[in-house]
């Protein structure tokens, strides 16, 4: 045995000596992929069906895709979204509770949207699932109750998203790239939501949710014959509808770089989007080459943008780009979140990396590395039957070559350095881009002027004028003095000894309303408790010397730093001591929801800024914004104050809408008790 092993070792060593490791072995020809068995047929009503059999598990999924291009929604943007969400809320024979109970009973999943319906279940429950599926599709009834609920939910979501810098940057990018005459440039706002009616949604359902032009993918433990029988039974009565797909204007990139700045006062970092529209159809010969190009530039952590802006410059946690083909209009986006002080430097590096791909050819090694990575991901994706079904639908709908996916790896392997150089000339435009920045305008505007004229915009991309100058004699001190007077005056506020406030709060997605109790007592005792369905969810209290946060994750003691801040912030009628706690500067007059407001930026002892908006007319505080930095990371926070009413001569906002990290909480003041002594034990 030892002798045999010795001989084997000699043979292996000899073979190693014979290999020249300095020479990379030539890659063999890319294999033609066997996509798998896909059966298809078209029903008499025009529905195109693709069946992918996979009998490894006793499961079946149904994915119905509506392929329509509706007319522009104009002053009712959000119509298609609301109509899609209303699917499945009620049918002619089932209530929403009955639909939900039926799905839960068989352990199935079903979701609807404006783009289609997706459902899955165990094979043995497929008959029940298909009955529900077809009932929702063919017999939906839209009720005012569910419609009102969806409008309310979307209103809350919009309010929360307007404090999200990423969402704001995305909105402005869409508007700048596509404009109002393209479906991708339309933005849902509170105003457009208010213009949508239940009848509009019913008409949309009757017009666009049609078998002609739609696709159904059935994947899993089912045969073609079984699928045909099932669909004939459940969907043959789905009637053809007559509509025309809208044609949208395809915009072009700007003639030169244009800079748009959205003010996020107090933000310590900026969101950067460098973007422009691109005409690139998925069936284009350039589509796959452009995908490779984007992966080289900013497709992941090994791409050029990431290596430069994160690993080399340490400007950000991540910098990426995207450029995907789209039948209606594509867009290029390069983005990152960076510190304010390096915003301009980061933009310089973005433009440099984009330009480098236009002026210098990539190396064979870099290109091959990206191609290898894309090939591997493609192979992994093929393991999912749903991927195979989507390939079949894309081939038909987008007009791809019949062997597009079968020869995908071959096409990928044939892309050359010269191909990448050529598509870089065509699709990368470092001098014809929209440079969009969301951040603190006071710190950023001057820095950004080097890239072009800076246009201030609101959260929806609408151009804003610079802040109007305040009248002579108006100062931070006079704004706060007027606010105190509007609340009832100095004498009235000084008489406040205690406040007991009770709120009911609505949080989207919560199973019930929250009950909130806030207690305050001179000099600075404070207690906050939030309860739902009899259970305490969160509690915070401060007794003048010590304080605690007590919630679902346990009880923690306030830090020394937080204790010092609490002594000042929890003072009753803290407005009277405003300038003992903060310094403030008056930036000018802006417009908030149609009302002129003084914009005041206050700064605490730590240098943390917050922006407050005081009505020029009523003198009352309408909104405050700040960026907080909890353990989970920096996040925007805002509070909107509405519905001011007098209680025993002191004015209180009876509605407060708080937005934190994309979550909106609407608090309604149900009861406030003034100057009734509160037992000290309630602050412990």
Three-state SS annotation for 549-586: EEECCEEEECCHHHHHHHHHHCCCCHHHHHHHHCEEEE
291 with 429, same domain: the answer is yes
More confident residue, 76 or 266: 76
In CATH, what number is assigned to the domain containing residue 603? 2.50.20.10
Q: Is 638 left (phi over 0), alpha (psi -120 to 50) or beta?
A: beta
> Could you tell me if residue 389 is inside a domain?
yes
How far apart (Å, rounded) are the C-alpha atoms in residues 452 and 31? 49
223 with 268, same domain: the answer is no
Closest CA to 278 of 322, 320, 321, 325: 325
Is residue 73 within 8 Å of residue 139, measured between CB atoms? no
> Could you tell me if residue 410 is inside a domain?
yes
Q: What are phi and psi of 398, to 5 degrees?
A: -90, -5
Q: Give residue 28's pLDDT band: very low, low, confident or very high (50, 70, 90).
A: low
603 with 638, same domain: the answer is yes
In CATH, what number is assigned to the domain containing residue 213? 3.30.830.10
Q: Which of the residue ranges 23-32, 187-196, 435-444, 510-519 would you say has the lowest mean pLDDT?
A: 23-32
More confident residue, 111 or 662: 111
What distance separates the 2 farthest-apart alpha carbons in the chain?
A: 105
449 with 564, same domain: the answer is no
Q: Give residue 23's pLDDT band: very low, low, confident or very high (50, 70, 90).
A: very low
> Could you tell me if residue 670 is inside a domain?
yes
Asked if residue 240 has pLDDT above 60, the reply is yes
More confident residue, 382 or 253: 253
> Could you tell me if residue 247 is inside a domain?
no
Chosen domain end from 457, 487, 522: 457
Q: Which helix (H) or strand (E) holds 418?
A: helix 417-427
> Could you tell me if residue 245 is inside a domain?
no
450 with 559, same domain: the answer is no
129 with 217, same domain: the answer is yes
Chosen domain end from 220, 235, 250: 235
pLDDT of residue 61: 95
Residue 173: which domain range?
A: 38-235
Q: What are phi and psi of 268, to 5 degrees?
A: -100, -5
212 with 310, same domain: the answer is no
Asked if residue 35 has pLDDT above 50, the reply is yes
Q: Mean pLDDT, to the nearest integer, of 46-73? A: 94
Summary mean pLDDT of the chain: 90
313 with 203, same domain: the answer is no
Split into its structural domains, the chain has a count of 3
The structure tokens 């310094």 sit at 583
| CB-based burial label for 26 (10 Å; 0-12, 13-18, 19+) | exposed
Asked if residue 616 has pLDDT above 60, the reply is yes
CA angle centred on 198, ends 192 and 200, rounded to 5°? 70
| Percentage, residues of the chain above pLDDT 90 | 73
pLDDT tens digits for range 150-207: 999 999 888 888 888 999 999 999 999 999 999 999 999 999 999 999 999 999 999 9
The structure tokens 């791409």 sit at 303
More confident residue, 564 or 374: 374
| Percentage, residues of the chain above pLDDT 70 | 94
pLDDT tens digits for range 633-647: 667 788 999 999 999
> Could you tell me if residue 23 is inside a domain?
no
Is residue 273 within 8 Å of residue 334, measured between CB atoms? yes
How far apart (Å, rounded) are the C-alpha atoms in residues 424 and 413? 18
Helix 79-86 to helix 198-208 angle, to the nearest 10 degrees? 80
> Could you tell me if residue 449 is inside a domain?
yes
More confident residue, 380 or 360: 360
| CB-based burial label for 382 (10 Å; 0-12, 13-18, 19+) | middle
pLDDT of residue 432: 97
Q: Give residue 629's pLDDT band: very low, low, confident or very high (50, 70, 90).
A: low
More confident residue, 537 or 474: 474
Q: Mean pLDDT, to the nearest integer, of 574-579? A: 92
Chosen domain end from 428, 457, 486: 457
200 with 321, same domain: the answer is no
Q: Mean pLDDT, to the nearest integer, of 106-126? A: 96
pLDDT of residue 85: 96
566 with 622, same domain: the answer is yes
How far apart (Å, rounded) are the C-alpha atoms in residues 318 and 298? 10
Q: Which residues contact 162 (CB under 8 A, 6 or more apart)?
A: 168, 459, 659
393 with 279, same domain: the answer is yes
> Could you tell me if residue 13 is inside a domain?
no
Q: Which of the residue ranges 251-265, 311-325, 552-566 would you say has the lowest mean pLDDT?
A: 552-566
Is residue 634 within 8 Å of residue 499, measured between CB atoms? no
Helix residue spans in 570-636 (DSSP H): 578-581
Q: Give residue 467's pLDDT band: very low, low, confident or very high (50, 70, 90).
A: confident
386 with 272, same domain: the answer is yes
Q: Which of the residue ranges 108-112, 210-214, 463-467 would you say has the lowest mean pLDDT?
A: 463-467
Q: Give per-residue burial for 342-362: e unless 16+ CB within 10 Å, then b.
A: bbbebbebbbebbebbeeeeb
Is residue 622 within 8 Å of residue 640, measured between CB atoms? yes
């Amino acid at each position: 045995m030892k002798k045999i092993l010795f001989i084997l070792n000699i043979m292996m060593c000899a073979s190693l000596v014979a290999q020249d490791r300095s020479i990379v072995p030539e890659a063999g020809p890319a294999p033609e992929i066997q996509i798998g068995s896909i059966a298809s047929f078209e029903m008499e009503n025009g529905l195109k069906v693709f069946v992918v059999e996979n009998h490894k598990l006793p499961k079946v999924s149904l994915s119905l895709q509506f392929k329509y291009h509706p007319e522009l929604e104009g002053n009712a943007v959000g119509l298609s979204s609301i109509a899609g969400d209303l699917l499945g809320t009620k049918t002619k024979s089932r209530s929403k509770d009955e639909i939900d109970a039926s799905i839960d009973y068989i352990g199935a999943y079903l979701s609807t949207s404006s783009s289609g319906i997706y459902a899955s279940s165990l094979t043995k429950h497929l008959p029940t699932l298909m009955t529900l599926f077809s009932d929702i599709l063919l017999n939906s009834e839209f009720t005012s109750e569910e419609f009102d609920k969806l409008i309310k939910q979307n209103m809350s979501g919009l309010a929360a998203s307007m404090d999200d810098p990423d969402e704001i940057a995305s909105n402005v990018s869409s508007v700048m790239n596509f404009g109002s005459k393209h479906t991708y440039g339309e933005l849902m706002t509170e105003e457009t939501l208010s213009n949508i009616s239940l009848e509009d949604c019913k008409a949309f359902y009757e017009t666009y949710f049609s078998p002609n032009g739609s696709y159904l993918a059935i994947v899993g433990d089912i045969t073609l014959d079984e699928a045909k029988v099932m669909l004939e039974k459940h969907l043959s009565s789905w009637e053809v509808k007559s509509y025309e797909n809208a044609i949208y204007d395809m915009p072009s990139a700007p003639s030169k770089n244009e800079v748009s700045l959205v003010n996020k006062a107090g933000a310590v970092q900026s969101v950067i989007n460098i973007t422009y529209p691109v005409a690139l159809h998925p069936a284009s010969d350039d589509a796959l080459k452009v995908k490779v190009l984007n992966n080289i530039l900013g497709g992941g952590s090994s791409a050029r943008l990431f290596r430069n802006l994160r690993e080399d410059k340490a400007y950000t946690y991540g910098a990426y780009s995207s450029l995907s083909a789209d039948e209606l209009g594509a867009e290029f986006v390069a983005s990152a979140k960076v510190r304010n002080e390096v915003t301009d430097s980061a933009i310089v590096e973005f433009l440099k990396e984009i330009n480098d791909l236009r002026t210098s050819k990539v190396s064979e090694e870099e290109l091959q590395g990206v191609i290898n990575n894309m090939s591997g991901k493609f192979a992994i994706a093929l393991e999912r039957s749903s991927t195979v079904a989507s390939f079949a639908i894309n081939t038909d709908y987008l007009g791809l070559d019949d062997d597009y996916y079968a020869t995908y790896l071959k096409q990928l392997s044939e892309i050359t350095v010269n191909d990448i150089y050529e598509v870089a000339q065509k699709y990368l435009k470092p001098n014809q881009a929209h440079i969009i920045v969301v951040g603190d305008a006071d710190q950023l505007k001057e820095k950004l002027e080097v890239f072009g004229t800076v246009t201030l915009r609101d959260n929806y991309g609408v151009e804003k004028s610079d802040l109007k100058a305040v009248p002579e004699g108006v100062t931070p001190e006079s704004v706060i003095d007027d606010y105190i007077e509007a609340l009832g005056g100095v004498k009235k506020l000084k008489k406040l000894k205690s406040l007991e406030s009770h709120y009911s709060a609505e949080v989207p997605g919560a199973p019930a309303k929250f009950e909130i109790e806030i207690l305050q007592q001179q000099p600075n005792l404070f207690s906050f408790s939030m309860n739902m369905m009899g259970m305490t969810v969160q509690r915070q209290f401060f007794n003048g010397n010590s304080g605690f946060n007590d919630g679902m994750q346990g009880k923690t003691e306030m830090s020394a730093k937080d204790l010092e801040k609490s002594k000042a912030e929890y003072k009753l009628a803290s407005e009277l001591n405003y300038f003992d706690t903060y310094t403030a500067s008056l930036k000018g007059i802006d417009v908030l929801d149609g009302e002129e407001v003084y914009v005041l930026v206050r700064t605490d002892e730590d240098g943390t800024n917050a922006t407050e908006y005081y009505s020029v007319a009523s003198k009352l505080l309408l909104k405050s914004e700040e960026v907080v930095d909890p353990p989970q990371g920096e996040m925007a926070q805002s509070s909107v104050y509405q519905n001011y009413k007098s209680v025993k001569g002191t004015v209180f906002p009876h509605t407060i809408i708080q937005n934190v990290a994309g979550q909106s909480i609407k608090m309604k003041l149900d009861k406030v008790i003034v100057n009734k002594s509160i037992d000290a034990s309630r602050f412990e």
